[in-house]
Structure 1
Amino acid sequence: MKAAYLTPAITLFREDGSLDLESQGKLFDNLIEKGVDGILVEGSSSEFFAMPMDERREMARFAIERVDHRVKLIIGTSSMVADEIVDFSNYCLEQGADAVMILPPYYFRFGAEALLQYYDRLAGKINGPIYIYNFPANTGTSVPAETVLQLAQMHSNIVGIKDTIPGMDHTRELIKVVKSQIPNFEVYSGFDDNFAHNILAGGNGCIAALSNVVPEICAAWAKAFRDNDLAGIAKGQQAIDRLMDLYAIRDPFLPVLKEACRLRGIAASSTGTFPMPNATVEDDARILALLHREGI
């Protein structure tokens, strides 16, 4: 059974707020060595929303060079400025990214017709594969399955979607509506604990953030599906269900993921973009308890 686990990589900064490309490279190498199937940079876990465009281009260029086609590399190019999305997307694709991923416009809510026009315009100007990124909790808008099907039929370069929704209702509808007509269209979940349900429903897997911290567990879970190993699938589900507690340590959860990577020796610092809070001593104690509980 086909199954893929991709990592929406965190962005690592030095304490002065500048990019820590040494730690970033270490993170990428660790993900690849531990067996993840792909990497997304400049998704929600990356704090792209607080990074200036020159810094985003620097990160994209570094990721393309460091990953070097060892695994699939998708770059998030979301912005509220359409021309900026087109320019940045084409830059990433020309430099060697495998695909780009784009959120709907946010701040105001948009209906199906406006979303169709939005992605139609972008897809016509972007010279390579595009993944739609559906994240209604953060954008206020959910892209309907019927709209996704229309777009995929209109534009062969719209190749998949990341569906970041806690349940499986919308993702299941995407699989039924879109993949029934376009079997090669890729449908990924955005939460780790939906991975197994996604695969069993006919999807492609997930692009989910716990894999920054425990890529070995996530990669083993995907391999268990590919090997039809029921015991391994159950083991992976149960481990991830317990590790989902990392997300609950603080809100927003990004400082916890960064601190967990620091505690595992991957990152030099868990510094984030302002006003992202820093992890606390109390957070460290809870993180370490969770990791030790899993034998990590």
Structure 2
Amino acid sequence: MTTGGSTDPDETGVAGVRGVLHPQGAVGRLTLDRIPPAAALASLVEFHWRVRWDLRGQAPHEQKVLAHPNVHLVFEAPCAAVYGVDRGLFVRRLEGAGQVLGVKFRPGGFRAFWRRPVQELVDLVLPAAEVFGAEVEETGRRILALDDPAAMAAAADAFLLDRLPAERTEDPQAELAAAMVETAIADRGLLRVEQLAERHGVSVRTLQRLFAEYVGVGPKWVLRRARLHEAAQRAEETTVDWSALAGDLGYADQSHLTRDFTAVVGLPPDRYAHI
């Protein structure tokens, strides 16, 4: 994988990543690596991601992302940060040269470190030192001095494993929350919160409390965001019959899909597809 000059979209590692908007714009500008976590963290961490760029002599690049229902710990300059679920459009401006390493926690996974309702982190970016202590900054400097993404991920794993609560046991509520989010994202036939609650044998109220405590955002938001991810990805891949897609995704009509998409992305879907 290269850091610049590529003409092959797949070489960026971004092509096909759901939620990354206009991935073709990343060609020759950035690369993305995804690294699995240590086995001992697999119930809490979905994967690590390393983004690297070299834009020296080039114009800055603005990358937009429709976020997922996950909390991230990001080792970056000038200081590491914890990113709660972003309900809007996440935009990052890249210039010069650099890299960051992110830890994408599974839905519910960050609760083991935060120990409070994850809902408190929604739409917030906190200095990681407020959660993990000042040592996170030295760890971040060591990680960012490395070139190998696997070595960077291993250092992040070691840092997190040292900070797992000593009394921690597997949390069945966190596992249930992760399973519910996975169901909401994977099953396009689920269109209402009531259907998701019924699928997992809980009341709607229980479902909502669980999402507030472990995921941060509500189940309705997760279902809605999954539909927008699908719409954006379809727009990247092929000519779209937007009326038919609206029906496939459970919208009442095309105008409903257009309103939802425009409210978050800033463009109606047909315009987005032609940029």
- TM-score by length of structure 1 reads 0.28
Return the structure number with greater helix share: 1
Return the structure number with greater strand share: 2
> Over alpha carbons, which structure has the higher Rg?
2
